[in-house]
Amino acid sequence: MLGVYLMIFAASNAGDVLPVSELPEPAKIVGNPKGSTIALGPELEAITEAVGSRMRCPVCQGSSVSASPSEMARNMKAQVKEMLADGYTEEQIFLYFEASYGEFVRLEPKKEGMKWGVWLLPLFAGIVGLLSIVGVLRRYLASSLPTSDDSQNAEMVEYEAELLRVRALVSGEAVSDAG
């Protein structure tokens, strides 16, 4: 019924507990573990949580594997835990998941090559924005404060007014002297 290309093995009596040994071992994809094995316990839980917080849940909207309650995220977290316990490093774990999901699975893009742009462009945009704000503020302040030309003009006006007053006084005295 299943066709000639299906090999059927004798079923175990273990209910839904299935052997998945035919799946590619992580070592076939990322090589042998490069780290140290971690025993079950709080340390393993904490590292699993930390790695999961940097791994994207593929069925969620921008949520990490650690933050998502979905079954897919739980399965991924279980696999992360298993690999950490076996001594795989965080980078090896990400490479393993990248083989099937692509770099999309990383919540933080790699800091290499063109991908530096993802990290540096926001910084660049921030600096440009800040400089623009400073420029606008400087122009605004410059236009609202009196300039040296303005103060020179004011002095000139004051000087001319004073000159006119003196001339008036002088001409007044001349008139009274003539009278």
Partner 1 sequence: MNWKVLAGGLAVLVPLIVVLAMGFGKDPHAVRSPLVGKPAPTFALKAVDTDQVVDPRLGQGKPVVLNFWATWCQPCKTEHGILEWAAGRHGKDVQFLGLVYEDTKVRIQAFLKQYGSGYPTLVDVGGKTAIAYGVGGVPETFFIDANGVIREKYAGPLSAPQIEERVQRLLAEKP
Positions that interact with partner 1 (CB under 8 A): 2-3, 5-12, 16-24, 58-59, 71-72, 75-76, 78-79, 97-102
CB of 18 to partner 1, least distance (A): 5
Give bridge partners of residue 64 from the DSSP assignment. Answer: 56
CB of 59 to partner 1, least distance (A): 6
For residue 93, give the nearest of 23, 19, 34, 24 by alpha carbon. 34
> DSSP label at 5?
T
Q: Which residue's entry shows tokens 């594997």?
A: 65
Select 22 or 149, whichever has its Cβ closest to partner 1: 22
Q: For residues 51 and 44, what is the distance between their CA atoms, to the nearest angstrom?
A: 11
Distant-in-sequence, close-in-space partners of 128: CB < 8 Å, separation ≥ 6:
none
CB of 110 to partner 1, least distance (A): 14
Question: What own/partner pairs with CB < 8 Å and gap ≥ 24 does 77-80 have?
Answer: 77/48, 77/52, 80/48, 80/51, 80/52, 80/55
CB of 129 to partner 1, least distance (A): 13
Select 115 or 167, whichever has its Cβ closest to partner 1: 115
Q: How many residues are present in the chain?
A: 179
Select 27 or 157, whichever has its Cβ closest to partner 1: 27
CB of 38 to partner 1, least distance (A): 20
Select 19 or 146, whichever has its Cβ closest to partner 1: 19
Select 71 or 177, whichever has its Cβ closest to partner 1: 71
